[in-house]
Structure 1
Amino acid sequence: MIHLFQKGTNPSSPTFLLLHGTGGTEQDLIPLASEIDKEASILSVRGNVLENGMPRFFKRLAEGVFDEEDLIFRTKELSAFLDQAAEEHHFDRNNIIAIGYSNGANIAASLLFHYQDALQGAILHHPMVPRRGIDLPDLTGRNIFIAAGMNDPICSSDESKELYKLLEQANANATIYWGNKGHQLTNGEVEAAATWYWNNK
């Protein structure tokens, strides 16, 4: 997978897995990661799927309707990539925190839904429920921050509440932050994510 890696300056800090939104690149979320922990390592990945020339992490059938078969395949692909990247770049595979926005947050949530040890934690900006009707792994010890929008036209507040509930039922330590600016990633939610991160570090 196309990606970039930046070694952090603090060995005890995690590696941030950065996952952009639709049409983004591996450059997009680097400033956001620095706002949260400038000493952390960064592994930023570009989605392998193109939709009208725009990179994504998995296919969709329509707005808000995921191609479930492709989602499962791409989630497995990303999990395997993390194993390889940890060996290649010499970072702790067991200390990865995903930071995802929109489509990137959805693939991060899918990692949590499918693989118990894929992520140590996650910061999910405007995620949806990746799959329904499946048993989640035991996510005890996983700290997860969800940034949601009360007026988000793409990801409804009910969707955000459902994701939060599913993660809590899987024993994750989930937190939800509510903004009112729609689907865009705001400074307020980044600041809230940073506060949450340091409180849980």
Structure 2
Amino acid sequence: MHAIVTKGRPLIFAFHGTGGDEHQFAGLVAELWPGAGVVSPRGTVSEFGANRFFRRKAEGIYDMEDLAARTDEMIAFVRDQLSPGVPARAFGYSNGANILAAMTFRAPDLFERVALLHPLIPFTPPAQPGLAGRRVLITGGARDPIAPLAGTEALTAYYRDQRADVSSTLHGGGHELRPEEIAALQAAFAP
């Protein structure tokens, strides 16, 4: 998939959640950033018919070898989409946030800004000095049964420890995306 990009306008990478596809966030990108290019890959793993970006052994238990391999594949895919003079920004929801976070741990230079919406990283990422100064938004729900608040807070602390420019937006609900998160996402990617 190659996007049509305009020099100076951002290229937005959108990573869907489990069961979503490349169309999940197309309308949202067009609404929030008119004129931006969009690349929205479809996860190639099927979990009982639901699209995902990597395998897991159970809820919250990742197949770490598969995650590593698919992270490398996605980094290569993203690099192939990038164009000089076009700022690249990325957001992901749930499973899409997880693959996006994994990419930042390995290749912090891919995106100038990143938004992780309801991520779950059930492991301690390695130190990554390349994240210093990178803009990262993390959102979540206080009662999220899939991406518990403690994990969201730990991931936020991880990025802060790497000296990333981190902001967070939390709501009182569960795993659903709420308007305040969308507003924070739009603001995070504003010029």
Instruction: Give structure 2 stretches of 5+ with no counterpart.
Output: none
Q: Which structure 2 residues correspond to residues 46-125 of structure 1 after superposition, within 5 A? A: 46-86=42-82, 91-92=83-84, 95-125=87-117
The CA distance in 2 between the partners of 1:185 and 1:195, in whole Å, is 16
Q: Which structure 2 residues correspond to residues 1-201 of structure 1 after superposition, within 5 A? A: 3=1, 5=3, 7-8=4-5, 11-86=7-82, 91-92=83-84, 95-129=87-121, 131-132=123-124, 134-198=126-190, 201=191
- 1:179 Cα deviation after fit: 1.1
Q: SS of the counterpart of 1:145?
A: strand
- 1:191 Cα deviation after fit: 1.4
Q: SS of the counterpart of 1:28?
A: coil
- 1:14 Cα deviation after fit: 1.8
Query: Which letter does structure 1 place at the counterpart of 2:7?
Result: P
Q: SS of the counterpart of 2:189?
A: helix
TM-score (norm. length: structure 2): 0.92
Q: SS of the counterpart of 2:173?
A: coil
Aligned residues of 1:25 and 1:45 also touching (Cα < 8 A): yes
1:195–1:117: structure 2 CA closer, same or farther, 3 Å change rule?
Answer: closer
- How big is each residue's C-alpha offset from its partner over 1:70-93, in whole Å with a ceiling of 9 and x where there is no partner? 11110000001112233xxxx348
Counting matched residue pairs gives 191
Q: SS of the counterpart of 1:42?
A: strand
The CA distance in 1 between the partners of 2:108 and 2:91, in whole Å, is 17
TM-score (norm. length: structure 1): 0.87
The CA distance in 2 between the partners of 1:171 and 1:147, in whole Å, is 18
1:175–1:104: structure 2 CA closer, same or farther, 3 Å change rule?
Answer: same
- How big is each residue's C-alpha offset from its partner over 1:130-188, in whole Å with a ceiling of 9 and x where there is no partner? 64152224212311111111111111111011000111111110111011221012222
Instruction: Give structure 1 stretches of 5+ with no counterpart.
Output: none
Identical aligned residues as a percent: 34
Query: Which letter does structure 2 place at the counterpart of 1:128?
Result: L
Give the aligned CA root-mean-square deviation in angstroms: 1.8
Q: SS of the counterpart of 1:55?
A: strand
